[in-house]
Chain A
Amino acid sequence: MSTVIREHKEPLIRISKRTHISRPRAWGIRAIALVLALAVSGLVIFAIVKLSPIKVYGAMFQGAFGTAKRSWATIRDTMMLLCIGIGLAPAFKMKFWNIGAEGQALVGGIATAACMIYFKSLPTPLLFLVMIICSVVAGCIWGLIPGVFKAKWNTNETLFTLMMNYVAIQLTSYFVAKWENPPGSNSVGIINPQPTDHAGWLPSLFGQPYLLNVIIVLLLAVAMFIYLKYSKHGYEIAVVGDSENTARYAGISVKKVFIRTMALSGAICGVAGFLAVSGASHTISTSTAGGRGFTAIIVAWLAKFNTFVMILISLLLVFMEKGAIEIASRYHLNDYASQIITGILLFFILGSEFFINYKINFRRKHD
């Protein structure tokens, strides 16, 4: 037995998995992460641009909530992001990687714009009905195509949905060229701009142009929460997401659930496109979705598909975006400065999940 025996010291740091953590403690860790993120961003701001972090944070707040108009813009964009997040929730809960919300929202927007242009003479209630149906159907089809292909031929949905975005963008370019107004501007311009007309514009409520957006999206949030948590469909989605084998064992048709859920996911993203065109910009361009289809993926995952938590996260992300624009113009920084802050913030928030799931053990003191 020629075993070489070596003395080892106990490792300085060991990581072990937590089996349980109380809810207040988990939120405590997240709060610490937020404070740390603000502190680190402050240091970075000071080190790079020699500005007082407090002033910069103040300016960001001004950018997002400085005036009533700004507050409403922040709320409007939050709702748009939230709406797409709600659309993604069932797909991601099913572990179906729908990266195509951008395209699904865009085709919803195209359908809405088309209705506003071609059916503007319809009576208002009928026009809205047609607009909503068209945008829902458009988004639905855009979600169904990858869903059906996945169910029938097991294609990779990540690539498929991603590529569907580019098709939607090209389609939008085509319609922008077709509906160009005025000619040569390379844009559609505001559709039905005369105040007496405004056909297909989502009406103001209590003098607030975006209040209806808020109501529609919050209703969707509540409905989706209930759908996922209490309905039979929601249960099927959860089972398929956890284990397709278990789903088959229980007699759930995995194909049917794939197709049905992607139709729903696309349809809600289509509604987001409707809100963007009819309820916000009143025009259509390739940037109507503005990358929110991708940002919403972060929203859905961070909230773990809980649509109420999504409200908070959407608000945080839009707040950062608005703040970025403000500090960029006020301090002549470019908006990378704020993207750095957003990055630091997300790093700490995501990083805090590690400390919620794992425990760090330090070396014991001997003797």
Chain B
Amino acid sequence: MENATAVQMKNITKRFGEVTANDKVSLDLKRGEILSLLGENGSGKTTLMNMLAGIYFPDDGQIFVDGKEVTIRSPKDAFDLGIGMIHQHFKLVDVFTAAENIVLGLDEKGKLDRKAIAEKVKEISDRYGFEIDPNQKVYNMSVSQKQTLEIVKVLYRGANILILDEPTAVLTPQETDKLFAVMRNMKADGKALVIITHKLHEVMDVSDRVAVLRKGQYIGDVATRDTDPQKLTDMMVGRAVTLNIDRPKADSLEERIAVEHLTVRDKDGVARLSDVSFTAYGGEILGIAGISGSGQKHLLESIAGLQDPEDGSHILYHDKSGADHELVGKNPLDIAKLGVALSFVPEDRLGMGLVGNMDLTDNMLLRSYLTGRGIFADRKKPKKLAETVVDELEVVTPSVATPVRKLSGGNVQKVLVGREIAMNPTVLMSAYAVRGLDINTSYTIYNLMTEQKMKGVAVIYVGEDLDVLLELCDRILVLCGGKVSGIVNGRTATKEGIGLMMTQICENPPRFEEKEVQA
């Protein structure tokens, strides 16, 4: 079986309406190898893999598994062929245990034999080095544990061809290393693995071979040892791209927002932020690092006036004349009326930042519809703005009259960021601004952030890719369980150090001195 071909896809074509997502793509995958599938947003990576997993059906082309032509009509067919896919969004039942989730949907006769399941799970775990407790409930699991469970689930079903769709997006560096170790063990066991990721250093780290897609077409494949990130990017984008983030220093820093003792509880009374204090300066990018769900969302929303902080919390805005304004207890409209130009790119683009069913013009209107006298909304300026954003940020859209939900993720993000920057903000907050975006678009966004910083804007950047945070930000605030575990200098901090701060149990968050980190 050594290095026999596991899967061969031949001339696969898939169209969605007029868009050709995959155009005669041919790809093969060998046993005992890890293949990275690389491509920009909308290049058709996930579509291609979804056809292997039985979620989409190809319009044309053939699929061979172990040399035999097959038709995959449903995820069940895929499982029968030993193909398992681990999706970006986990499909687990929260109130069930790990073992119950694993056997869920398996059509096995007889009683549920928990012992036998636990034994088999243990056998799989020992073989590949997973750490999993079959009796743990899913709602008690961390993101990384849930992902482990998803992988064990497909292995339990006898999968020997595994597809992982952006598995590291939600993991800390340490967890990513663990995942890669497990993947190598599976490879050694003769399994075939495909990993979809945007992070080039991970591609270099874990894969044996890289296949590149561009605009639905198969560009080619290279052995990982014969290539480097720069070459891969050029292949992916189709032209030479520079991969450096410029980090100039602003001439002067100006205190802009001071958060003091910010505590926020959610509806159930659970503290999502406890006693958070920090200062953001105009002319710097303040990064916020942390495992997802550590309070990033509540922090940004508190500043934007969308949360209701506890008594004793203060968010002070220092305007350019030196006057202080308290933002706690004000809604977004009140804050805007104070003359605070606060731009906010929220994590949930279509659920909060934009209106999916409205076109680009009407989405630009969201920030300005109240301007002007009379009862009618003025759409002339928003239309112009929409055209400018489309032009300057190279948004791919049929027209400014297209509903934004029909645009791809990257283009949606450009529309949102474009609008927020057009407000001429003094504070620009963004949450996961590049999540799911390809390299090219990501760098466009980084450059825009830096541009704003150099204009004297206080930029607050919540990110998940530590490599980027370390290249982009002047300072990085690390959150852990709603508390500040420290603020570090972005130019000197290390990935490992931040990774530890993200996971450490911080009963008493270390008091930090602003001066020390102000280097």
Contact = CB atoms under 8 A, between A and B. Distances in A.
8 closest residue pairs by CB, A with B: A19-B17, A251-B333, A251-B332, A8-B71, A3-B82, A245-B352, A242-B355, A250-B366
Interface in A1-47: 1-11, 14, 16-20
A6 to B, nearest CB: 6
B72 A8 contact: yes
B355 A230 contact: no
Given A1-B160, A238-B358, A249 B365 contact: no
Interface residues of A, number: 38
Interface of A: 1-11, 14, 16-20, 230-236, 238-239, 242-243, 245-246, 248-253, 361, 364
Given A235-B362, A248-B332, A250-B332, A6 B80 contact: yes
Nearest to A20: B17
A197 to B, nearest CB: 41
Interface of B: 1, 16-19, 57, 59-60, 65-66, 68, 70-73, 77, 80-82, 158, 160, 190, 304, 306, 331-333, 335-336, 344, 346, 348, 350-358, 362, 365-367, 369-370, 375-377, 406
B238 to A, nearest CB: 24
A246 B355 contact: yes
A357 B16 CA distance: 12
B18 A20 contact: yes
Nearest to B80: A6
Given A235-B362, A249-B304, A19 B406 contact: yes
A232 B374 CA distance: 9
A19 B348 contact: no
A18 to B, nearest CB: 6
A232 B376 contact: yes
Given A19-B18, A235-B362, A242-B357, 7 more contacts: A1-B1, A6-B70, A16-B16, A19-B16, A234-B377, A242-B358, A246-B354
Contacts of B68: 5
Which of B351, B355, B357: most chain A Cβ within 10 A? B355
Contacts of B1: 1
Contacts of A246: 351-355, 366
Contact of B16 (A14, A17, A232, A233): A17
B70 to A, nearest CB: 7
A39 B82 CA distance: 50
B21 to A, nearest CB: 11
Main secondary structure of the interface of B (DSSP, over half): loop
Contacts of B376: 230-232
B251 to A, nearest CB: 33
Contact of B71 (A1, A10, A19, A249): A10
A246 B354 CA distance: 6
Contacts of B82: 1, 3
A363 to B, nearest CB: 11
B355 A232 contact: no
Contact of B356 (A234, A242, A248): A242
A215 B31 CA distance: 76
Contacts of A236: 369
Nearest to B365: A235
A249 B377 CA distance: 18
Nearest to A227: B375
A108 B411 CA distance: 49
B517 to A, nearest CB: 31
A231 B365 CA distance: 12
Contact of A232 (B60, B80, B352, B370): B370
15 contacts: A3-B82, A3-B160, A5-B66, A8-B73, A17-B17, A19-B17, A230-B376, A232-B369, A232-B375, A236-B369, A243-B351, A249-B344, A249-B346, A250-B366, A252-B333
Contacts of B351: 243, 245-246
Contacts of B190: 1
A253 B160 contact: no
A3 B72 contact: no
Which of A3, A8, A233: most chain B Cβ within 10 A? A3
Nearest to A11: B73
Contacts of A6: 70, 77, 80-81
A249 B306 contact: yes
Given A3-B160, A242-B355, A243-B351, A251 B19 contact: no
A239 B351 CA distance: 11
Contact of B377 (A10, A18, A231, A364): A231
A1 B369 CA distance: 62
A234 B82 CA distance: 53
A248 B331 CA distance: 8
A3 B66 contact: yes
B70 A5 contact: yes
A243 B356 contact: yes
B360 to A, nearest CB: 15
A365 B210 CA distance: 35
Nearest to A239: B355
A232 B348 CA distance: 25
Contacts of A10: 57, 71, 73
Contacts of B350: 243
Contacts of B370: 232
Contacts of A8: 70-73, 77
Contacts of B346: 249
B304 A243 contact: no
Contacts of B355: 238-239, 242-243, 246
Which of B306, B331, B356, B369: most chain A Cβ within 10 A? B369
A242 B68 CA distance: 48
Nearest to B58: A10
A230 B158 CA distance: 58
Nearest to A230: B376
Contacts of B332: 248-251
Contacts of A1: 1, 82, 160, 190
Given A3-B158, A8-B71, A238-B358, A251 B66 contact: no
